[in-house]
Amino acid sequence: MRICFKYQILHGNPLKNVLFSIQNKISILTLAQLPSQPGNHNGGGFRHEPPPAPPSASHHYLRSPRTCQCGFNDTAYLQNSCGPAMPFMTMIEQVLMSRLDITDGCRRAGSDRPPRRRSFDYIVVGAGVAGPILAKRLSDDPSKSVLLIEAGPEEPTLSSVPAIAFNVLASDLNWKYTTEPQASACLKKGGRCSWARGKMVSGSGGANGMMYWRGHPEPYDQWAELGNPGWSYEELVPYWERAENPVNRNLTTFRRFDTGNPLVIDHFPHKPAFADEILRAASELGYKTGGLREREHTGFAVAPVLVKDGQRGTTSRYYLRPAADRMNLQVLTNAVVTKVLTRKHPHKHAYGVKAVLKDGQEVEFLAEREVILSAGTLGSPQILLNSGIGPKDDLAKVGVLLVHDLPQVGRNLQNHVSIGLSVTIRDNFTEALTLEALNQYLQQRSGPFASTGLTQVTAFLETKYSKPGVPDIQAFIDGYSSYCVKHGLTEECSGSHAIGNCSQRRRLNLRPTVVTTRSRGYMTLKSNNPLDYPLFYPNYFSDERDMKVLIEGIKKLLELMDTPTMKKYDMRLEDETPIKECANHTFGSDAYWECYIRQETGPENHQAGTCRMAPDGVVDERLRVHGVKNLRVADASIFPVLTHANTMAPVIVVAEKAADMIAEDAKNGSSGEAYPGRWRPSEGPFGPHHYGHAAPSHRSWHGPPRY
C-alpha cells in the first residue's frame, strides 16, 4: 500500500493501525498496515514519495514530470537532543516528516548516486549558503551544465521548522569542529573552542537563527579600499535588491522594493511577549527599536529573518529547489571533495575535482570551464591546501605536493567573539511543543513551532571605542525558547529555562558580541589525509582592543537592568559570586570581566577571511584564485574584513555577484583568466539589461540582470 497525498503516509514505520488526532480537530497521521520499505532505515531516515508533479512548460530544459517515486532520503535528529522527551518528540518528528507541504519532496534535487556523466561546464563545491545560488544562476543558461557537490545529505525536513532547527547541531549534520588549544580564550574547555558548522544541503544556513542583516556599509567600503574595485556597499546594493523579497520594504533598505525575488524576508509569525518588553526597555535607554539598516544601524530590533509561511528559509529552498528539474543541473550529496584537479601545462589551471562518495569510492569529475569553491570559510581553504595550493612551507611539512605557492591560503581567519551573561527575571511563562502547538503549526504555520523564542531580538550598540554611527557590538538575547515535552498534553515547567521546579523566576542569556574583531588567526592541514580535519588557531584577543570592546559591551547590556521596565521584572544577574577561576578579582570590575571572558568565551559561527580577496591575497576582485586559471572561491572565506552582523546576507551577495562575473567571463571568452578589473555589462551575461540606478563606480555599470 502506498499513498501519496497531502498528509503523506510513512513507509518503514513500526507504528501500525494508529489513528493520531490532535485536539479532536484534525487527523494528521494514519498508518494502516503499511508494509516496510527496504533500504532506508539508516540514521532514522524516511523515504518521502510525493504525488506526480504537474507538467511544466516554463523551460524546455526541464526533466519530465516526476512520479510518486520522486522522494528523498530524509534525516531525523530530535532523538539526539530531547532526552526523556524522546518518545513524544519522535512522534512529532514523524508527523512533520510525513507532510508533503513541509517536506517539499518533489523539489529536492540532491542524490547520493553520482551522475552518469563525468564532465560539466561548471563544478560548484559546497551547497551551503552560496552554492545553491551559484548552481541556480549558472544553470539559468540551458546551454551550460552544472554539478553541485555537497559533503552532507539533503536538507532535512525538520530543519525547516524554526523551533527545532537548532537541534540539528547535536547530530551528525554538524561538522563539530574544535580549535587547537589557546591560552587566551575558552579556558574552561582547555583552550579549545567549539565551532558548529552545518554538513548538509543549506549548510550552516539550515541551522542558524535565520537573521538577515546586511550589516553596516563600512566593512564593504573597506573591501573596495583594500584593492577590490566593485565591492563597495553601493556597488553591491543592486545584487541584494535582485535577491531580496521582503514582505515590508523597510525590513532591509530604504530604497527600491521589488517582489518576486527569491529571498522571502519577514518576521517570525510568533514571538514571546517579553520581546516587546525588551524593546520597551531599550527605548527607555534612548535606543531606536526598529528600522535598523544601512548607515542607521544602532539600536534594538526584532530581526528580519528568512521565513515563509512559518518555515525557515534557506538558499536551498529559495534557489535550488525551484531549479530541481533542470536537465543541466545535477546535485550530488554525501560526497566529500578532497582536492581540485590541476595541470601545470601550458599554464596552471583547474580541470576538475576528486571526491569521496558515501560508500568510500573515489570519483573524479571534470570541469570544462571552471571549478568554484563555495565550501565555506573552513572548507574552501582546506580543499585548496589539499590540492597543493597554499603556503609552500606548510604543505611541505605535511607532505602535500606543491602546485602553486599561495602564502595567504588559510590566513586572515576572523570570527566574531562573544560572552554569555546569565540573568534572571520574575516570570515563569513557558511554552512547550505540545499537541496543541503542533496542530496550530500544521493548520496556521504559527505558534511556538514557528519561533526561535527571544533569540529573534537583537541589538547593535556603540561602545566608547567605536567610530560614531558604526556599532562595534551586536547583542543576542536567548530565552523563552519552546522546549521538548514528555507527553505533549500539558504545559510543563521547563527545568532548563526556569529556575527550580516551576519557579517564579526564569533565566535569560545576554550575549554581547564583538563585530569589529581585529584579532586574526589561521588554519592549516593536520596531515596529507584530505579527510582529516584541519588545525584551527583563532588567536582570540591577540589584539587587546577586542577584549576592551567586549567588556564595554557587557556594561552596555547590563544597563537594561536599570530601566523601569526591567525593574518591573526584577532583572538581575543570576549569581554575583565570582567564578572560582576568577576569585582573585572583584566581581564586576574590568579585570574580573576579562578573566571571565577568557574562561567562558562564546565564539560565534561567523568565521571568514581564509581566502582573502586582495591583490596580495588568495583571490582577485573577480574571485579568481591567483596563479591558477579556471578556479574561483565564492563564500565568506573571501571577505578581507569580517562584516558587522550575521554573515548570511553578505555571503548571499557574494554568490549573486560571483554568478554574474562567471557568466560574463564565459561570454567574453576569458573564463578564469586574470586580467585587470574590467566590467562591461551594458549587456549582461544573460542578455541585455538596464537597471533603475547605476552604482557609483568609475566603470560603466548598470547593475546585475534580474531573474
Residues with catalytic roles = 606
Would you report the helix, strand and coil content of the chain in percent, each value rounded to 5?
30, 20, 50
Q: What is the CA radius of gyration of the chain?
A: 25
Per DSSP, the residues of 421-478 read EEEEEE-----B--HHHHHHHHHHS-SGGG--GGGGEEEEE--TTSPTT---EEEEEE
Q: Is 35 exposed, middle or buried (0-12, 13-18, 19+ CB in 10 A)?
A: exposed
Distance CA 355, CA 140 (A): 25
Q: Which residues contact 568 (CB under 8 A, 6 or more apart)?
A: none
No. of H helices and E strands in the chain?
Answer: 15, 30
**Strands 263-266 and 305-308, how do they pair?**
antiparallel
Distance CA 506, CA 504 (A): 7
End-to-end CA distance of the chain: 42
Residues 313, 304 contacting (CB under 8 angstroms) = no
Q: Apex CA 303: angle with CA 203 and CA 153, to 5°? A: 15
In terms of Cα–Cα distance, which of 86, 63, 62 is closest to 76?
A: 86
Which three three-digit cell numbers place residue 529? 589525509
- Largest Cα separation within the chain, whole Å, is 74
Which three three-digit cell numbers place residue 480? 523563552
- Residue 641 neighbours by CB distance under 10 Å: 22
Please state the φ and ψ torsions of residue 352, each to the nearest 5 degrees.
165, -170
Q: Which residues contact 535 (CB under 8 A, 6 or more apart)?
A: 180, 523, 524, 525, 526
Residues 605, 646 contacting (CB under 8 angstroms) = no
Describe the crossing of helices 218-225 and 233-243 by its angle, rounded to 10 degrees: 120
In terms of Cα–Cα distance, which of 400, 405, 370 is closest to 387?
A: 400
In terms of Cα–Cα distance, which of 663, 568, 581 is closest to 622?
A: 663
Could you check whether the bond before residue 87 is cis, i.e. omega within 30 degrees of 0? Answer: no
